[in-house]
Each structure stands twice: as C-alpha cells, then as structure tokens.
Chains A and B, each alone.
Chain A
Amino acid sequence: MKIFKLNLCFIFLSYFCVRAVDRANFKTCDQSGFCKQLRSMEKGNSPYKLLLNTLNIQKDSLQVDLLNNKNNVKLVLKLSGIRDNIFRLRITEKDPLKPRYEPAIGDVLDSEPKLESITVKREGQTVKVNLKNDAVVILDESPFSMQVLQSGEPVLLINSRGLLRFEHTRTKPEAEAPQGILSTVLSWFSNSPQPADDEVPVEENAENENHEKENKEEAEKKETDEEGVWEESFKGHTDSKPSGPQAIGLDFSFPGFENVYGIPEHADSFALKSTRDTDPYRLYNLDVFEYELHNPMALYGSVPLMYAHNEKRTIGLFWLNTAETWIDIGSNTADKNMLSKLATFVGVGSSDEMPQVDTHWMSESGIIDVFFLLGPKPNDAFRQYGSLTGTTPLPPLFSIAYHQCRWNYNDEEDVQTVNEGFDTHDIPMDVIWLDIEHTNGKRYFTWDGAKFSHSVDMINKVAARGRKMVTIVDPHLKRDDNYNVHSECRSKGYYIKNKDGNDYDGWCWPGSSSWPDFFKPEVREWWAGKFLTSEYVGSTHDLFTWNDMNEPSVFNGPEITMHKDAKHLDGNEHRHVHNLYGTLVHRATFEGQLKRDPNQRPFILSRAFFAGSQRYGAVWTGDNMSEWGHLKISVPMLLSHGITGISFIGADVGGFFKNPDAELLTRWYQAGAYQPFFRAHAHLDTRRREPWLFDDKYKNIIRDAIRARYALLPFWYTLFYHGEKEGGPVMKPLWVDFPKQKETFTIDDQYLIGSVLMVKPVTEQGSSGFRMFFPGDSTTEWYDIYSKQPVKTHGGYEFVSAPLEKVPVFQRGGTILPRKNRIRRASILAKDDPYTLTIALDQNGSAVGDLYIDDYMTHEYRQNKYTLRKFIYENNMLVNKNISPMSQFETKSWLEKIEILGMKSKPISVQVIGEDKSTRDLEFNFEPSKQVLTIRKPDVNIAQDWIISLRR
C-alpha cells in the first residue's frame, strides 16, 4: 500500500479496526430495548381475547377485533385465504394514533396477493376456517390463540404460548424529569387502592369509562416507564424514538416438527438451532466486519421466512416486517396439556412424545402480517413463497459463469493483463470486476482520471473476448458540490433526512456522505437514469453493476448503520424500513439497467437483501475470510438463502480477508464451481491470487474446476429458467427431493443441484475423502461423475475418495444431464456448440431430463423465443420433444455425444430417427466392464424433435 493511501485509509480503517475485534459493537437482545422486553414476557398469560361479536366474514377473509384485557386497546385481526394453499394473518391496531408502517406493494410483495375463498364457521367460543385443500384454521376466543390443522393434524399453533404483544401508538408523556416522582404521587391520588393491572379483569363492554381510561393510562404508564422506551442509547449513539414503543411480537409453534430452516442471513448451520442458551436469531441488515461463524448475530441481509419440515410436510411462515427483528427458537417437546386439548378437539390419538419447535418473533415496529405457506411438499412451499415475493428472473448466461473480482484491479493495463492471463492459461472467464478504487475519489458513476481514463476502450477490449465488466456503485454519495450526482440529489431533496430534517450525513468510503431515499419511486427513477450511457460517461452496455454497502453501511453510525430516527421522505422513520433499504437500492439499479436497454437482462450483485431481493438479481454472503471454516459455512449459508428465495447466491471464492494457501483456494474453486453465483474476490490487502500465480498442480485443478462449471452451464441455465417459472432454489437441501428421509434433515455439507447432481465439496484441510450420505431407497442409484460408476450404497453412507483434483459429485439415476464439453474463453462463445447428454439410468432403465435454450442475453424469451426440450429415455429409446409448444427458437447447436450410464448390455444397433422420419445408423461403443454406452455423433439439432432408438 502506498503511504498516502495508508494515511487516508486510516480514518476509515480505524472504524473497522475497532469493530474487527469487538463483537460488542453490535447489540445483544438485552441491549435492544424491545427485544429485552419481549423476550422476558411471561408465557401462557395472554391478555388478548377475540371480540367475536365483531366477527365479519367475507368471501375470502374474516375480520374480528382483538382486545387486550390489560389496557383495553383493540386490535383488528384479519385472516385471508390466498391462492395456492396460503393464508395470511394480519393483526394491527384498530385505531392507531398515526398509521403504522406497511411496505408498499412492489417493495416486498411482488403484487397484491391473489385471494382465494374460505369458509368460516363460528362454533361457540371458536371460529373454524376451512381453506381450500385440507387445511383448517381454528381461532380460540379467550385467551386468543389459533391452530392450523392439515389432514386433521395440528401443524401450527399461534399465540399458544401467549406471547402476542402489540405496543400501540401513543403520545409521549410530557416533561420527562418529574415523571418518575410526580406520576407516582399522582397515582396515589387518582388510583388510591389500585391493584396491579394484570389482576384487573376488564369486561368486554366496560361500563365505567373512567375506570377503563384509568386502567389504560396506568398500563401505558407502566409500559412507558420502562427504560429505553422513549429514548435508547447504544455506544454513544442516542436513538430519539419519537414515536415511543411500537414493538410487536407473536409466538408460533410447529407441533410434530423437529427442524426449522431459513431466516437468513446468519453464519450458522442450515437447520436452525435452539436459542435457549444464546441470543435469538437477529434480522437487522448490518455491515459486520470479519464476521464470526456459528452464531445468531445479524449479517448483511434478512429474509423473515422460516420453514418447518418433517417427513409429512413442509410449511412456511413469512413474517412480513422490515424493522429490526429477533426470533427465538425452542425445540421442546410439545406441551402435553396443549396437545392433549388439541388432540381431544380434533380427535387425534395420543401424542405423548410428539416433538415441537416453538418460535417467538419480535419486531421493533410495523404490524403483524404473516403469510403461512402450507406446502405440503417443499417445492410447493417454495412456489407459494415465489408467488408472493417473486422469483429470480432468468439471469444472462455470463452471470452464472465465472467472475473474476478483486479490490482492486489497479488500472486499465492491469485489467487487460488479467483478461489476457485467462486466455494465456486457457481458463474460461466471463466477467472482470472493478471495486471502489476505479472511481474518482469514490464518486460512483465516475472513473479515476489517471488509471481508467479510457474506460470504454477497456470495456470493449474485454467485451471483444465475449466478456463483460462490472463496476461497483454504492448508495452513499460523496457530499461534494462538484459531484453532480450528489448536487442533483441534494437539490432535488432526494436524500434521507436526519431526525432534525437535514440531509442525513454519515461516513463511508468517500468520507462525508448522504444516502438517496430509494423508497420514493421518483428517486429510483432518477437513480435509474444515471445508468444511461449518456449519464454514466465511460460506460457501455457491456458494463454491469455491483451494489455494496447498502445495508446501509455508515461507518460512524450506531452498529455501523443508519440512525433509526433518520427520516425518509414519506415521513417514516428509518427504523420501520431498515431491512428493506438494500433491496430498493438493488431495485433502482435494476430499473436503471432496464432503462439503459429494456431488452437486455440486467445483472446486479447486492450485499444487503430482504424478501423480494431475488427479483433484482444476485446476492453474495459479504466479506468472508480465507479460512476453511468460512468455506465450510458457505454451504449451509447458501442453502438458507436459496430456500428463502435468494437463489442466485454465492460466497467469495478464496475468502475476502486474508490470504488462502493453494490448497484452500483450490478447494474453494471446486466448491464455488458448484454454487449458483461463482465469483472470486479478494481484499485490497491480500496478495494477488489469479489462478496462474499458483503452481501448475493447483492452477490446473482450478482450471478443471472452472471448466467443469462451464461444461455444466446448459444445466445451470435450465435450472435458473425453472427458478424464474416455479420459484425455489437451484442449490437445494437434500430433503427437498428426499422429504421423508429423516437423515437428510440436518445434512448441510452436501446438497443437490436441481434434482440431478449431488455435491459434497471438500471443506477440510488435507482431506482425501469422507463418508457421504446417499439419500433414497433401494431403488435409488447415484453415479460418480468421474468414474461413471454407480455407488454401491442405496440410502446410506459410503466412503468417497476426494483427492485434491476431485470434488465429489454424483448424478442421480433416472436423470439426463446436458453438457457442453467444448470449453471456450467465455460462455457466450459456446452458444452454438454441440451438446453431450449423460443419461444415468435408474433401476428400470429409464431417465428424464430437460434443457432450456434461448439467446442467453435478452428478454426475447418472454416473447416465446426459446426452446424447452424434454429428454425421455425409456424402453431403449431417447425421445427429445418440445414441451413448450408456444415457443420458437432456432439454434445451431447439435448433439455430439450420448453417454448412457448403467447400461446392462450392448445394443445390436443404434438408430436416429429425425424430425422428417429419416433414419440413420449411429456408431457406438459399449464398455461392458463399466456398463457405459457411448453413442458417437448423433448429429441432430438439439432443438428439433427426434428419437434415438437402441435395438437389442
């Protein structure tokens, strides 16, 4: 590092240094006022009851008031049926003093959910709701609780532990100082022998209004007297909390379940842990420097979506709240009383030993708005969630190929050298990235005048090899009047304000910075315009974007983020919307690329995320470290992201901080090659680590790993197509395909890609093999992709060797895997290349697979310019047929080879029958010892209907 830089950086780094070692920079539940209060609530003592006389039944919803006995505040509960086995529970204040925040449609929910009719029946003290399918929701009047039954079995209990909490809007008591003494004195006069609130039963139709009012005031006073309710401090930052307490909380239990998943982002196991002895899992988007593994601390993004899964079903719980949220998880055996009561009610037999997961959700503000995804299969739940928040649009091909990033490629020459280096060493690569140093003084949308003065030429040179470039564009804008993006933003009044109404001013990379308020559509529109090549001078259509620091990261803010009492343009405090900010940065950038070229698919990588971020592109797990533990944790982390919609997800290959040794880097490339977003990245302080800087032994293995990714791009691309259409992850936990196999529930070091490949990356130093679980039953075959031989185990563990050059990957019997074995410099250069199909037979000698093809770049596939082929191999015949009759797409790509694994005997002959019914004999080779049949050069177009027939 150069001296002067060092000095400049020192100011910023000192923030990091302090927090590098100091976990105490981030709040524990005890330090977060509302969490502390809600977590310490007494269980089983809910003051809430339904006011059944207010029950209002509509075609697709019911509404009923909910009274808090202690303070007489009324809430209103709304339950609605939503298409595709979803229902929504909404609880909010009946008469709030001011509106409580709810995200606008389009910000989190992709569109207004489509309602579905329900049947509501009042039965004494309960209300029974029949949803479509076989789900029943039962509401108990007092204390208020709910139960959800599927096929007659309880699957979800709501407020069964009485943790419903709804801090209603209120006005701040005047003059804080005398409050303590004075109010106590006053209370002696006004409520002479006043018993504690809890003991005062309040009638539904209280006659004595004064009494009621007094009670309410008293309860309110009690709440508001507690520390931190009207003001809260943390590490020298004071949160003015102008609206006072507004927290909400509710408990959900999953009887019959032992495992819950989801609620990223945490550097923790895939199956969530009990938080009995730790803090709750926290969701609060934060820039955590050198994050620790295996704990529930918040990280860069949040998706408040949890799945419970057991042998019978998968159900999802989506807590639509964008404020700071904490989730407690307990895995106690179900409360016998509650269950026996239930069992009696629904006529279920004894369930003494039934396991149960209890969860408690706590948010700082907003309303209770929960979607229940009733599955019952994992893919159903994923699809249901996708129908609410949208899916990942099919990414352009280059973006699922290999990305080369570093903080920083120093100048144009450096970029060109790296570009050439990949060609010299014959390693495919699609995208070169530029981190913050490419700008003129961290002013995004600008270039360093000396180092990147010919950026268009530079991009064109990279693009001449079929490649793309990405530059970083962060949301913090340098407060420099000569910087037009800032001066425009300021003069238009687009910045988020501080509590006093001035532009919020904080520190980030450029020094003093402000943050546009992306919640306002007008601001997004303005931001989007910045991506036009006429505005972003020096950019081209081959340049894409990276949104970093969008939690937002504020170096001198509380917990390195924005003050909660900062004000958005619509008057909302930042606290209400915090977790959503990053998504809207991502969204505005996405809209910018669309504005630049509506027909070109955008590509944007974001660090912060929320439910719905998947609509705008890729996310990565932030600033990890070059350590084996970080490589290992990438798998459970990515699985958690994947099932909660963030399917285009990856971790920095090699680790961001510190220097990986050759073995770790090699193993990380092998792992990354089989993860959805595949990018190598490195910190400014680390040594250069382009693959050719390592010994040939390692370089060649890294090259093989990257080439393996490229060969499988047709497969990945097809998976992403399905991802857009059907939702759900491309990188999947084993239980998605083996939902009834209990062993799979806690496995998070191996996973599936689609339903075809199973991968267990090597994440231990010096490992040369390990035991691996092969899910399924006696009929399930798994073929080693290297040896093409099936493993001997069916539904159990088997030792798998994993020398340095090998990453254990298996193809499931019964699948057909498309590959392009000609490895080009960049993915798009292989667009016309021929395919190889690997048919892994199941025990019936059958297999199926599919392949999606389009132009790889534009939105024309949405006008049906694509082809989706289905390959079916059965009865000695491989049939290629179009399963999307509306579509039309021509390709030059043809079929060069077929490999059939698990072929028992040699065929007499192999024939191809073309679209025009013409037939032709094909050469083939059968290896009896391996049971592999290779069919040579069928030479038929991949996008045409044909049949390849084996005669026996």
Chain B
Amino acid sequence: MSAPIRFSTNFLKSSLKLCNIVAFALILLIQLPYTAANLPRGVMPAAASLYTDSGLFTCFSWDGSRAVPSPISIERDKINDDYCDCPDGSDEPGTSACSNGIFFCENKGFVPTKLVSSRVNDGICDCCDGSDEYASNANCQDDCFARGTKLREEKEKERILLEEGHKIYETYCSEGQTFKKNQEDQLTKLGNDIEELQKQWDEINRIKEEKEIPEKAAKAKHEAAWKEEKEKKNAEQVHLKGITAFHELDSDGNGLVSIEEMQKHIEFDIDRNGEVASEEAKEYLEDNETIDEVLFMEKVWPSIREIYTAAKPPEQKKGDDEDTPPIPQDEEEEEETDDENDNPESHQAPTDNENKDNPTESEDEMPEYDDETKALIEAAEQARSSFNEIDQKIKDIKKDISDIEADLKIDYGPNNEFQKVKEGGCIEYTDREYTYKLCPFDRASQRPKDGGVETTLGYWGLWNGPSDNLYSSMKYEKGQNCWNGPDRSVVVKVSCGTENQIISASEPSRCEYEFQFKSPAACGKTFSDLNKTDPEHDEL
C-alpha cells in the first residue's frame, strides 16, 4: 500500500472520500506557516518539523514543551497507518491506534484543541471543525466560526470582568498590604510602648510596695489594738450575761440557784423527754443542790452559756447579733482589692463611717484609723492606683499585640488581598431551601429559608487549593456534627469576580458542602496572564 494513511479495507473507501474532501479544504482555504497538506493528520504545530523530515520517523514524547526522541524509529509510511508502533504514541497522531496518542484539531476560527486519541473516529464530534471524525458516521458540522464568535464575546466579557476585578484586586492588595504594614508597624510600636511602660511599671511597683509597708504596719497596729479591746469587751459582755442569767435563774431572788429553779428551764432537759429531771438540773449544778453567784459564774455559766435561753427573748436576740461583727469582712475585702484595679467597692472604709449613725452597731465597729495611718493609707492608695493604671495599660497592649499577631497568622493571600474580604464581613446566599452565610476566615453556616435554627457548617480552617493554585479553595471545618455522620465542613471555591459574593452552595456528599465564591481578591491573574498559556490565542 502506498497511501500515506492506511485503514482497514472495510472503511477505506468511505474514509478516503472524506479524507480527500478534508485535504482539499485544507489546501484551498488555509494558508499556514507550515505546509499543512504534507503534514500527517492530527500533528500539533509544535511538532510539525518532527514529521516533515525525510527518512525514518523517530518516536518521541513530550517533556513539557520539549520533544524527547526515543530510540525507536519506524518507516515513515507507518505514521498514521492506524497501528500503534511507538510506545509513546507519537506515530499515530491522527488515529485512535495508540491509547496515549494526542490528536490536534486546528479548529480554525475557534481555539485549537488537543484530544486524547481515543476520541478520534468514535462517532462524537469533539473538534468544532469535525476533524476528529474523518472516518466515522458522525457527520460533524464545522461550527468553529460560530463558536469562535461566541467565545470571543465571552472572552471579551471575561476580559472586562477580569480587568475590572483586577483593578479591585490591586486595591485589595495595596490596602491589604497597607493594613498588614500598619499592623506590623503597630506591633513594633506596641512592642516599644510595652518596653517603655514596663520600665515605668517597675518604678511604680517599687513605689507602691514602698508605700504599702508603713501602711500595712500602721493598719496592723491599729487593728491589733482594736482586736484587744474587742476581746476585752466580749469578756465583759459574757460576764454580764452570766450575772443576768444568774439573777434570772434565781427566780426567788435568794442569791442561790436551786435545782428547782433550774428545772423551770426546759433547755436543761438533757434527755429531751419534755421535762427537766432533778438529776439533770443537778448535773448542770455540778452536783450541788444550790449554788451562789460566784460558783455559778465559775462552774456553771461556762457550761450552760451556749444552751441557756433567757426568759426575755428580745434581750437575748441582741446578744446573738453581737457575735457576728461585720468588720473583719470589710478588712478582708480591703486586702483583696489591693491587687485589683479601682473597683468602686474597694473604698468601703470611708462608707463604714456612715454606719456610725446606728448607735447599737457602731459600738462594734473598728474605730477610724488615726490621722497618721489615714495618711499612710492615702499615700499607698495613690501608689496602687498609679500601679493599676499602668498595669492595665500593659495588659491592654499585650492583648492588642496578641490580637494582631493572631490576625497576622491568618493567611490572607500572597498580597494580603483577602484581608479586604474579611473586612467586608459576612456574605449570604439563598437557594431553594436554605440561606447560607459565609463570614470569611471565621465561620460558615446555614439556616432554613423559612426560619429556623442556624447550623454551623464549619470554622475557618485552611487554604486547600492544589499546590499550584493554593488560594483557589478554602476549607471551613469542624462544624456541627451530623447525626450518624461526620462534622459538617465547607469547601469554598474562590474565583475572580468584581464583588464578593457566593454564587452557589451545594452538598455534594452528606454534610460536606461546597460554595462557589466570587471575589476580586481572586483576580490576581490578568486576562493576558490567563491567556498566555494558550499559544494559539492570536488566531482568534
């Protein structure tokens, strides 16, 4: 056989006819930089020279855009003879013989396309010029021009969009970077501030501690004196109560308390049988039939003090209250507040004075500090107040620093362009059933359109685009757990748009959501950047 292209005898006739027509068309209509008519079918322009040389054909494979020859060479008439001779598939660019072959459709008027060779003559028109179906029944129409026109329109729209988007992107970048720079500057400044403040803090703290020593001593002295006095007062009161009790018990006023007199007081009913037996009374009287005041005070009062109930309750109650003086409480609070900032409640000492209007209670109040102590307290107070002020300042700055550092840790893109997206706040999208909400770099959620509980779909996790396009996809994870399933999560696919908006939301797998998100932040590549990869772009 001498024909350059060989087929099975069965479809040879019909295919030859088609071939002729195609070849004729190629010769007549197309002026290409290389002689297309001599080139085997399906060869891509970049490889043209490898097929036009004379002599044996050397099989080759592509390493990126570089053709790497293999050690295998074949006769030239085996190119496109519908039998795969080259393991790399290079001998059959125009047939489906090699499973790894590449068919090139020129698609004049549209975009040239590379097809896997299994698409050749499979009955489906893959090339708009129909060149892939030269020997099938597909009857493809050449609609490259129409598709080209449409594509050009789309490209133009895309170009405008990309340009517009890119402009915004640039402001996003600059603002994002400025923002970041400001943050970093701020961080430096705050660092310096904190250093400076720390020095002051040390000094103020020193002063505070210095002032607190005499204050503490004076207060302690005052308080010790008060404590002693209070104890004395207490003892007197107890004694007085005992005397009173003696006289109350001594109902016949004979100066002795007898068993009978004791039996009138039900509190001495040891076995709680409802009456005070003489043994019980005697027990309290330390085995005496009667007892005088001195012995009473010495032996009996200490043991009945706690259980004795006075005949006159009002007087008795007063005694109860006296047991719980409020002063120690105040002291405690005052001490605690030393370390706190100026809490209004910490200045209770002055208000205590007001209580003095109440004569019964004021008796038990610690008397005011003397003027000297007051002065010392005042001085210490002032030192504490300055200390609290500076301490708080440092804390505030530290918080600012950690906030900024945390934010700086978030990857807002190579030029911090996504910072603007975050700043823009939450974005909503409503479909047939749900309203979806994305708060960028924070949280994604969903709620039924007709009201109902909001479900967290995920919290900001990471960028998870492919390594060559990391910022094309973000993941929000660890959302609300699905019943009998995983935690909800969202993949947000990010693409260029002139405003930040979600254009679709779906749930491809149960509880695994996907949002399509448009944003100027994703308009990093310009139209020409994107179309550079398309070498035949100019032909449009």
Interface positions of A (Cβ within 8 A of B): 1-4, 6, 10, 13, 410, 414, 426, 450, 464-466, 684-688, 821-825, 829-830, 832-834, 891-894, 896-897, 936-937, 939-941
Contact = CB atoms under 8 A, between A and B. Distances in A.
Contact of A894 (B9, B121, B122, B453): B9
A512 B482 CA distance: 27
Nearest to B434: A2
Nearest to A414: B508
A277 B182 CA distance: 79
Among B8, B485, B486, residue most surrounded by chain A Cβ atoms (within 10 Å)? B8
Contacts of A465: 124
Interface in B265-281: none
Contacts of A688: 508-509, 512
B484 A685 contact: yes
Interface in B409-452: 432-434, 448, 452
A941 B8 contact: yes
B118 interface: yes
Interface of B: 6, 8-11, 81-83, 85, 96-97, 99, 116, 118-119, 121-124, 136, 432-434, 448, 452-453, 455, 482-486, 506-512
Nearest to B10: A892
Given A1-B482, A466-B123, A687 B433 contact: no
A684 B484 CA distance: 12
A896 B82 contact: yes
A941 B10 contact: yes
A686 B509 contact: yes
Nearest to A690: B508
A920 to B, nearest CB: 10
A892 B11 contact: yes
23 contacts: A1-B483, A3-B452, A4-B448, A414-B506, A426-B118, A687-B486, A687-B509, A688-B508, A688-B509, A822-B99, A824-B96, A824-B118, A824-B122, A832-B136, A833-B96, A834-B8, A892-B11, A894-B10, A896-B82, A896-B97, A936-B85, A941-B8, A941-B9
Nearest to B486: A687
Given A3-B452, A414-B508, A823-B118, A829 B10 contact: no
Nearest to B125: A464
B39 to A, nearest CB: 23
Given A687-B486, A824-B122, 15 more contacts: A3-B455, A464-B124, A466-B122, A684-B510, A688-B509, A824-B118, A825-B124, A829-B124, A830-B122, A834-B82, A892-B8, A892-B11, A894-B9, A936-B83, A937-B81
B459 to A, nearest CB: 19
A939 B6 CA distance: 10
A466 B433 CA distance: 35
Contacts of A936: 83, 85
A410 B482 contact: no
Given A3-B448, A937-B83, A894 B510 contact: no
A375 to B, nearest CB: 44
A823 B99 contact: yes
Contacts of B448: 3-4
B122 A2 contact: no
A821 B101 CA distance: 13
Closest A-B pairs by Cβ, 7 of them: A894-B8, A829-B122, A937-B83, A688-B509, A1-B510, A687-B509, A892-B10
B123 A822 contact: no
Given A426-B118, A466-B123, A688-B512, A822 B8 contact: no
Contact of B507 (A2, A450, A829, A892): A2
A713 to B, nearest CB: 14
A833 B98 CA distance: 12
A13 to B, nearest CB: 8
Contacts of A893: 8
A830 B452 CA distance: 53
Contacts of A822: 96-97, 99, 118
Among B432, B455, B483, residue most surrounded by chain A Cβ atoms (within 10 Å)? B483
A662 B354 CA distance: 80
A17 B124 CA distance: 48
Contacts of B452: 3
A1 B99 CA distance: 41
B119 to A, nearest CB: 8
A825 B485 contact: no
Given A832-B11, A939-B8, A939-B9, A825 B507 contact: no
Nearest to B484: A685
Nearest to B513: A2
Contacts of B11: 832, 892
A705 to B, nearest CB: 15
